[in-house]
Structures are given as structure tokens and as C-alpha cells.
Amino acid sequence: MTSRYLIPAVFLMAAGMAFAEPKITMTVQAVQTDDPQGYAQALAKSSELVKARTGIEKLNHVWVGDFAGDASGEVFVVRTFPSAASMYANMDKMKNYPEMDLLLAHLKGMRHLGSSVLYKAVRFEGAYPDGAVFNTSIVCSDEAAYVKLLDGLKATIEAGGFKDAKVNLWRVVSGRSHSTHLVSIALPSQTRVAELLDKLNDENLLADWYVSAAKLRTTVHNGTYHEITK
């Protein structure tokens, strides 16, 4: 199995915002492994050790690409923190931890680490445990205008019978390769994601929305993913 990046992007801080309240931070680590389920099980043990030291509940979330182009079948580890600073603070707490060192040595035999990307939340509604997502990576020319456009997307999806859909927008802080933002629509299951795609495409519900979106973004990649966290 090969692994690449999930959907990288760029971070541009607006002038005067250096001391704004920190936004939720997400890291996405691509992983090469021949045993996704076994790797997810090993990371569950890692999460237990992290919780014992830091109090963070279930830090590691393991995702697999479904219909995701070159990323289909690939594994990604997703972690979220209140801020980038808190991420490093918790990393410091994990130093000099013999049990974690032993586990990391075991993980080296199961994996090869690929690209790692750091995101900041711009529009955040959350996700579902053991759920699924439809992700789209974009190059965005006007973030503020695009956030408003996503409000319209959310309204259209809800009107189509998907009030359980959560629409998120992430901007990359570090690790950009191609795109600037990640749009992630979260639903409780792979079936619900498939139902959403059927609804939107069979009925062409987003025809007008796509015209407006084309003025603000260029699509780079899209795909569906599901969580296999143990």
C-alpha cells in the first residue's frame, strides 16, 4: 500500500490577527502500512498512554480512503488540539515515557510515515465517531466570501434531507503542496455519504452553487474517507 498527502494547503494570517483567540488545530499524517486494522489497534494503545499523561481522550483517529483517487485505500492518522501551541505542549509531556518509547519502536515495524499537514479550523461543526466524510481540496481566492458560500451549501444540504451533515472548512498552517483549504462534509456513516452524493448529483442540486463557487475556488482533489479507529 502506498500513501501520499490527504489534502495540503497554505496558511496566511491576516494583519492584526496575531493575538486572536487560537482556532482548533488538526494534524493529518499519511501512513504506509500493510495492516490498517492492526495499525489502528496499536494506535489505540498509544491513545491510552497519551490519556494517562495528558488527559486527552482518544487522541489518534485512523481514517482510510474509499473513493479518493490516488489516496484510495490509504491510511491517515488525524489528531485535533485546541491550538498549535497546545499540541507542542502535549508533545513535551510525552517525553521520557518508557512505555511510549516501546510502543513507538513496535510501530516502526508496521509503518512508514508519509506527509504531515497542519490545519486550522475556519468553519467548524465537528465530525462523527466512526463516521465518514466527503472531502474536497481547493485553492481559494477569498476565504471570507467562501465561508458565506458554505452557509448556502449547508442550507441546500439540509433542505435535501441531510440535517445530520456537518460542514467544515480547514486552512493549512504548514505542509502545503497544492491546495489552500480543505472542505470536509461529515456524516455518521459511509452509507449516508453515498446517499448525499446520490442526492446532490442525481438531482443536480448544486448547479447554481457551483457557478458561484467557481468564482472563489479551484477544485484540486476530492474523495470519500471512513474512520476505523479502535
Q: 126-158, pLDDT tens digit by residue?
A: 999 999 999 999 999 999 999 999 999 999 999
C-alpha cell at 22: 487560537
Q: Assign domain 122-224 one CATH number from 3.40.50.620, 3.90.1150.10, 3.40.1410.10, 3.30.70.100.
A: 3.30.70.100
61-65 and 181-187 beta bridge pairing: unpaired
Of 94, 99, 98, 81, the C-alpha closest to 45 is 99
Q: How far apart are CA 125 and CA 194, in angstroms?
A: 20
CATH architecture for segment(s) 25-120: 2-Layer Sandwich (3.30)
Give the Cβ contact number of residue 119 at 10 Å: 30
pLDDT score, position 22: 72
* Predicted local distance difference test score (pLDDT) of residue 14: 31
Separation of first and last alpha carbons in the chain:
20
Specify the pLDDT at position 12: 29
Task: Please give the mean pLDDT across all residues of the chain.
Answer: 91
Among 31, 67, 26, which residue's Cα sits nearest to residue 168?
26
Q: Are 60 and 44 in contact (CB under 8 A)?
A: yes
Which of 207, 194, 84, 111 minimizes the C-alpha distance to 153? 207
Task: Read off the pLDDT of residues 51-68 as tens digits, 9 standing for 90 and up.
Answer: 999 999 999 999 999 999
Mean pLDDT of the 184-213 span: 96
Rounded CA gap, 79 and 173, in Å?
A: 14
CATH topology agreement for domains 25-120 and 122-224 = yes
* pLDDT tens profile 10-61: 222 332 333 456 789 999 999 999 999 999 999 999 999 999 999 999 999 9
For the chain, which residues make up each domain, given as ranges? 25-120, 122-224
